[in-house]
Structure 1
Amino acid sequence: MSGGEPQTAEDKSRLRDAATIILVRRDPERPAILMGMRGKTAAFMPSKYVFPGGAVDPEDADLALAGTADALTLRRLAIEPRTDSAVTPRQILAAALRELAEETGLLIGQPGDSPLPGYAEAGLMPDPSALHFIFRAITPPGRPRRFDARFFLADAAHVSGDPDDFSRACDELSHLHWVPIAEARALHLPFITEVVLAEAAALIRGSGDAALHAPENVPFFDNRDQRSRFVQLGATE
Structure 2
Amino acid sequence: MTDKPSPTAKPKPATPRDAASLILLDQSGRTPRLLMGKRHQGHAFMPGVMVFPGGRVEPSDRSMSAYGMLADHTERGLLTRIVRPSPTKARALAMSAIRETFEETGILLGEKGLGAPATSSEHWRAFAEHEVFPSLEGLHFFARAITPPDRSRRFDTRFFMVDSSAIAHQTDGVVGPDSELTELKWLSFDEARAENLVWITRTILEEAAKRLEIGLEKDVPVPFYREWRGKRLREEI
Alignment partners' CA distance in 2, 1:146 and 1:106: 26
Retained in 2: the 8 A contact 1:139–1:224? no
**Offset, 1:161:** 3.4
- Per-residue Cα deviation, 1:173-210 (whole angstroms, up to 9, x for no partner): 11112112221011010111111101111222344xxx
Alignment partners' CA distance in 1, 2:21 and 2:186: 16
Alignment partners' CA distance in 2, 1:176 and 1:54: 17
The reply on whether 1:33 has 2:34 as its aligned counterpart is yes
Letter paired with 1:146: R
**Secondary structure at 1:79 match in 2:** coil
**Offset, 1:80:** 0.1
Aligned to 1:120: 128
The reply on whether 1:218 has 2:219 as its aligned counterpart is no
**Secondary structure at 1:88 match in 2:** helix
Letter paired with 1:151: F
Total equivalences in the alignment: 217
Alignment partners' CA distance in 2, 1:138 and 1:225: 14
**Offset, 1:11:** 11
**Offset, 1:60:** 1.4
> Within 5 Å, which residues of 2 pair with 1:8-19?
13-19=14-20
**Secondary structure at 1:160 match in 2:** strand
Structure 1 residue corresponding to 2:188, chosen from 177, 180, 191? 180
Which one is further off, 221-230 or 56-65? 221-230
Structure 1 residue corresponding to 2:197, chosen from 167, 189, 202? 189
The structure having more radius of gyration, on CA atoms, is 2
Alignment partners' CA distance in 1, 2:49 and 2:224: 22
**Offset, 1:50:** 0.3
Retained in 1: the 8 A contact 2:175–2:183? no
Retained in 2: the 8 A contact 1:20–1:152? yes
Alignment partners' CA distance in 2, 1:224 and 1:58: 29
Alignment partners' CA distance in 2, 1:224 and 1:89: 25
**Offset, 1:28:** 4.3
Which one is further off, 46-55 or 107-116? 107-116
**Offset, 1:227:** 6.3
> Within 5 Å, which residues of 2 pair with 1:102-121?
102-110=103-111, 111-112=114-115, 113-115=117-119, 116-121=124-129
The verdict on how the C-alpha distance between 1:225 and 1:21 changes in structure 2, with shifts beyond 3 A counting, is: farther
Unmatched tracts of structure 2, length 5 or more: 1-10
Aligned to 1:5: none
Alignment partners' CA distance in 2, 1:48 and 1:188: 5
Aligned to 2:8: none
**Offset, 1:132:** 0.5
The verdict on how the C-alpha distance between 1:224 and 1:145 changes in structure 2, with shifts beyond 3 A counting, is: farther
**Offset, 1:129:** 1.0
**Offset, 1:217:** 1.2
Letter paired with 1:145: R
Retained in 2: the 8 A contact 1:36–1:173? yes
Retained in 2: the 8 A contact 1:70–1:214? no
Aligned to 1:64: 65
Aligned to 1:155: 163
TM-score, normalisation: structure 2 = 0.82
**Secondary structure at 1:152 match in 2:** strand
Retained in 2: the 8 A contact 1:101–1:169? no
- Per-residue Cα deviation, 1:116-140 (whole angstroms, up to 9, x for no partner): 1321121112111111000000000
Unmatched tracts of structure 1, length 5 or more: 1-9
